[in-house]
Structure 1
Amino acid sequence: MAACRPTAISLYTGVGGLDFGFEAAGFDTVAAVELDPVACRTVRLNRPQWGVLEGDIHGISSEEILATAGLHAGEPDVLIGGPPCQPFSKSSYWVSGDTLRLGDPRAETLAAYLRVVRDSLPKAFLLENVYGLVYKGKDEGLQHLLEGIEQINREVGTRYTVAWKMLNAADYGVPQIRERVFLIGSREGISFQFPEPTHCSKEENTLGDAREPHRTAWDAIGDLARLSNDASLRVGGKWGDLLPTIPEGKNYLWHTNRGGGSQLFGWRTRYWSFLLKLAKDQPSWTIQAQPGSAIGPFHWCSRKLSIAEMCRLQTFPDGLKLDCGRADAQRMIGNAVPSLLAEVLAREIRRQLLGDTGDLGPLKLLPPMRRPIPEPEPVKPLPAKYLRYIGDHADHPGEGRLSSRKKGQRDLVASEPSLLFASGAD
């Protein structure tokens, strides 16, 4: 008889980014709690066996979750989830100057997660969030979680030990720069050791470095159709026709007094992702959940990314069906955890916290390397309608935090770039 697969209970499931990764690592999602009806419909369409519980987690009891999973308290192997992150997001902090954070009603999702931990007593748990959760001096959300776990230990007699770390998905083979915080806990008091990065940038990849170069956008989507003439993917708005004049890997800064194009904008006076274009030989920037009309990243063919391309950049398994409009699809995809990063962490949870020493073979969701990488697309001349914008535009006052980046490091706004001024993020 085949051995039983380890079980996962999923909270704030969304479209299933975490779950796809745990699935690839051999776990079965046996209950999935999600509020959004479009996400629930999508999960049921693709993974009907996951046991979707549609509704607000505050109105769904832990007993109902366990009953759906067919488990009793203490039996789940892992509890996974990424509580909605708005109270702790970098974008919220920079746009408003501060946030209510734990005073924000949306932060109650952390309490709901802790409630399910206490009532289901999983052998391990994983919680994902934006790295605003652990800002120095602004980490009350993290402290709330750690204190909540200690309270569970006192009340129930468990020995949950928690490790946390900020990870960049690109450093583990995901063809996308995306930084998120992960908290991983063990009921038996085992201190989880996060895996070392397996990939790095070309600049960091020196002689003798065992890490592979970052997987690139070409690795992820180079085999897909170019779709250059797909009208549904055309970039509209005032600035859409400017995109073909920007080289791969660049953004609107190309058209400033420090770029190589025409002086149409002041330096760092727009969002970092404004007219941001993918480069074939680099990872993608973070896929946005709710981008504006000129907010990228865009395809090197100067168009919007297709749904299939966004799924590839998130390392979702191929073949997913999304029975919804583009806005809903992009929102679900952009809010998800890259599945390959979840697979990497799930394998380590099996090995370190569940005592599984079996060989799982190669990573299932790691994109293949596609070589050779074609040359960059040719840049087109400036359309006449933009000539009137050429002038002496003032730079954003101050250098901003980007000025402190290390030599050779790319300008990155990795979490919520569509909502951040480039002068106010690193």
Structure 2
Amino acid sequence: MGARKRTAISLYTGVGGLDFGFEAAGFDTVAAVELDAASCRAVRLNRPKWGLMEGDIHDITSERILATAGLEPGEADVLIGGPPCQPFSKSSYWVNGDALRLDDPRADTLTAYLRVLRDVRPKAFLLENVYGLVYKGKDEGLRHLLTGIEQINRETGTNYTVSWKMLNAAHYGVPQNRERVFLIGSRDGASFQFPAATHCSAEEHSLLDDREPYRTAWDAIGDLPRLPNEPSLEVGGKWGDLLPTIPEGQNYLWHTNRGGGAQLFGWRTRYWSFLLKLAKDQPSWTIQAQPGSAIGPFHWMNRKLSVQEMCRLQTFPDGLSFECGRTDVQRMLGNAVPSLLAEVLAREIRRQLLGDKKSLGALKLIAPVRHPVPAPERLARLPAKYKSLIADHADHPGEGRLQARKKQAKEAETLPLLPAAAE
């Protein structure tokens, strides 16, 4: 017999990225709360037994959540969720030092998560958020969460301790570079240790390294049709015809004075994802929730990614269906947590915090390694309509948003945590 099923209560469920991962690790989602109508339709279509409650979490009581789950306070194994991070100026009543009021109707999404945590009192919890949550000097959200958990411990007699870390999904076998912050806590005070990275770039890999090479876009989608019969995948607009002139793994920077193409743009004068194209032998870049017409990542066949391809790059289980337009599907998928990363963390929660020592076997959501990897696609010639843009364009004067973000995230790692918390 395999390891017994565990129970999960899910907040801000979205399309189910976290839940699919916990499902693969042997958890049953017994109650789920989601406001977005398109996400709710997808959950009902794909996982009708999840106990979905559609509506604003501020209008859904903790008592209703427990009743839907069929559980009493303290019985749930884990509470999971990724609260959308609202501007904290709207919650200035707690930023300015007022007492934290978990039942206040003005509460933000983080406070609503804390309210359910207080009332449900699960054995463990996981909270996911964007990397901006831990930026040094802009970390009000993280401090708010840590303060709230301290208050819950005082009010209820629990001993929740918290560990947090920013993780890149590619380091754990997801064929996509995607950075998110995770807070994981245990009710009995056990300290959670985040698992070490299991994958790395080909340049970092060596015979003495236990890590595997990154899973790649080809591993994820190489078995799918090169040109699916979907007219909606065509890239139009002003720049669509420029995409075939950019090599795999490159973006608009190819057409600058430091690239190998024509000088159509200044260095770093556009967003990184502008005309960004997948490379077969590398992980995908982050799937965007609301991309513009020229914002990638695009397929190496110079088209938008299909819904099935985006699901694969997010390591969702195969066979999902959607009853909505492509815009809604992309928004749902782009906002989701890669399910394989959730599976990895869920397994560690079972092992470290819930006392489950029985092996769960191989990871269920990791893509197979596909060999051989085909050669890059041939480039097209520069269309005549773009030649008038060739000029000596000025570079952007700054260091670049990517470098600044990484510097902020590195500084954030020095933030103090609750007593006994690690990472």
Q: TM-score, normalised by structure 1?
A: 0.90
State the alpha-carbon separation in 2 of the partners of residues 215 and 59 from structure 1.
41
Whether the 8 Å CA contact 2:3–2:356 is kept in 1: the answer is no
Match of 1:135 in 2: 135
The offset of 1:101, in angstroms, is 7.5
State the alpha-carbon separation in 2 of the partners of residues 311 and 106 from structure 1.
35
State the alpha-carbon separation in 2 of the partners of residues 44 and 144 from structure 1.
33
Residue correspondence of structure 1 range 272-291 to structure 2 within 5 A: 272-291=272-291
Match of 1:369 in 2: 369
Whether the 8 Å CA contact 2:4–2:26 is kept in 1: the answer is no
- Structure-2 change in CA distance of 1:396 and 1:307 (3 Å): same
Whether the 8 Å CA contact 2:263–2:392 is kept in 1: the answer is yes
Match of 1:398 in 2: 398
Residue correspondence of structure 1 range 14-413 to structure 2 within 5 A: 14-87=14-87, 100=89, 102-103=91-92, 108-227=108-227, 230-400=230-400
Unaligned runs of 5+ in 1: 88-98, 407-426
The offset of 1:3, in angstroms, is 7.1
Whether the 8 Å CA contact 1:22–1:346 is kept in 2: the answer is yes
State the alpha-carbon separation in 2 of the partners of residues 18 and 403 from structure 1.
28
Whether the 8 Å CA contact 1:101–1:141 is kept in 2: the answer is no
The offset of 1:232, in angstroms, is 1.6
Write the deviation string for residues 207-263 of structure 1: whole angstroms up to 9, x where unpaired: 301100000000000000011664221001100100000000000000011100001
Match of 2:419 in 1: none
The aligned amino acid for 2:150 is E
- Structure-2 change in CA distance of 1:236 and 1:86 (3 Å): farther
The offset of 1:394, in angstroms, is 1.2
SS across alignment from 1:341: helix
Runs of at least 4 residues off by over 6 Å: 104-107, 403-406
Whether the 8 Å CA contact 2:125–2:185 is kept in 1: the answer is yes
Write the deviation string for residues 158-217 of structure 1: whole angstroms up to 9, x where unpaired: 000110000000000000000000000000000000000000011211330110000000
Whether the 8 Å CA contact 2:85–2:109 is kept in 1: the answer is no
- Structure-2 change in CA distance of 1:2 and 1:245 (3 Å): closer
- Structure-2 change in CA distance of 1:131 and 1:47 (3 Å): same
The aligned amino acid for 1:316 is F
The aligned amino acid for 2:144 is H
Unaligned runs of 5+ in 2: 96-104, 407-423
- Structure-2 change in CA distance of 1:3 and 1:212 (3 Å): closer
The offset of 1:85, in angstroms, is 2.8
State the alpha-carbon separation in 2 of the partners of residues 302 and 186 from structure 1.
46
Whether the 8 Å CA contact 2:171–2:200 is kept in 1: the answer is yes
- Structure-2 change in CA distance of 1:66 and 1:199 (3 Å): same
SS across alignment from 2:108: helix
- Structure-2 change in CA distance of 1:280 and 1:59 (3 Å): same
- Structure-2 change in CA distance of 1:227 and 1:263 (3 Å): same
SS across alignment from 2:351: helix
Whether the 8 Å CA contact 1:86–1:106 is kept in 2: the answer is no
The offset of 1:86, in angstroms, is 4.8
Whether the 8 Å CA contact 2:3–2:358 is kept in 1: the answer is no
The aligned amino acid for 1:329 is V
The offset of 1:71, in angstroms, is 0.3
Whether the 8 Å CA contact 1:9–1:78 is kept in 2: the answer is yes
- Structure-2 change in CA distance of 1:320 and 1:65 (3 Å): same
State the alpha-carbon separation in 2 of the partners of residues 405 and 50 from structure 1.
37
- Structure-2 change in CA distance of 1:339 and 1:405 (3 Å): closer
Whether the 8 Å CA contact 1:38–1:328 is kept in 2: the answer is yes
The aligned amino acid for 1:165 is K
Whether the 8 Å CA contact 2:162–2:183 is kept in 1: the answer is yes
The offset of 1:405, in angstroms, is 11
Whether the 8 Å CA contact 1:228–1:301 is kept in 2: the answer is no
Write the deviation string for residues 119-151 of structure 1: whole angstroms up to 9, x where unpaired: 000000000000100011211111110110010
The offset of 1:397, in angstroms, is 1.5
The offset of 1:107, in angstroms, is 7.5
Whether the 8 Å CA contact 1:161–1:190 is kept in 2: the answer is yes
- Structure-2 change in CA distance of 1:185 and 1:259 (3 Å): same
The aligned amino acid for 1:360 is L
State the alpha-carbon separation in 2 of the partners of residues 401 and 274 from structure 1.
14
Q: TM-score, normalised by structure 2?
A: 0.90
State the alpha-carbon separation in 2 of the partners of residues 347 and 189 from structure 1.
19
The offset of 1:392, in angstroms, is 1.4
State the alpha-carbon separation in 2 of the partners of residues 182 and 109 from structure 1.
16
